[in-house]
Amino acid sequence: MRAPLVVVALLLAALPLAAAEPDPRVADLERLRGEIAKLQSRLAKAQQRTQSLAGELDKTSLQLQLQERRVEEAHTARTLAQDRTANVAAEVGSLETRLVRVRADLRGRLSGLYRLGRAGYLRLLLALAPGQDVFPAMRQLRYLARRDGELLANFHETRARLAVEQGTLGAERERLEGWVRQEEQRRAVLATTRAHQADLLARAERERRSLETKSGALAEQAQKLSNLVAFLYGRTANSGPTGQSIAGFRGVLDWPAAGRVSVPFGPRLDPRYGTRVPHHGVDIATPSGSEVRAVFPGKVAFAAPFQGYGQTVIVQHAGRAFTLYAGLTETRAAAGGVVSLGQVVGVAGDSLYFEIRIDNRPEDPRLWLREQR
What rounded mean pLDDT belongs to the chain? 75
Q: Does the pLDDT of residue 124 top 60, yes or no?
A: no
> For residue 263, how many other CB atoms are within 10 A of its CB?
14
- 42 neighbors 69 (Cβ within 8 angstroms): no
pLDDT class for 98, splitting at 50, 70, 90? Answer: confident
Residue 319: predicted pLDDT: 84
Residue 3: predicted pLDDT: 44
Residue 294: predicted pLDDT: 97
Residue 20: predicted pLDDT: 47
Q: Which residue has the higher pLDDT, 335 or 190?
A: 335
Task: Report pLDDT digits (tens) over 233-289.
Answer: 666 656 667 788 998 999 999 999 999 999 999 988 765 556 677 889 999 999 999
Question: What are the residue boundaries of the structural domains of the chain, listed by start?
Answer: 5-208, 238-367
High-pLDDT (> 70) share of the chain, %: 63
Integer Cα distance of 119 and 116 in angstroms: 7
Nearest to 198 by CA among 53, 19, 12: 53
Per-residue pLDDT, averaged over 324-349, amounts to 95
Torsion angle (degrees, nearest 10) of CA 272, 273, 274, 277: -110
Residue 25 carries which side chain, given as an amino acid letter? R
Superfamily name with CATH number, domain 238-367: Glucose Permease (Domain IIA) (2.70.70.10)
Tell me the C-alpha to C-alpha distance, in Å, between residue 323 and each of 233, 290, 326, 345, 364: 11, 18, 10, 11, 12
- Interacting residues of 147 by C-beta distance below 8 A, sequence separation 6+: 5, 9
* Residue 368 DSSP one-character state: T
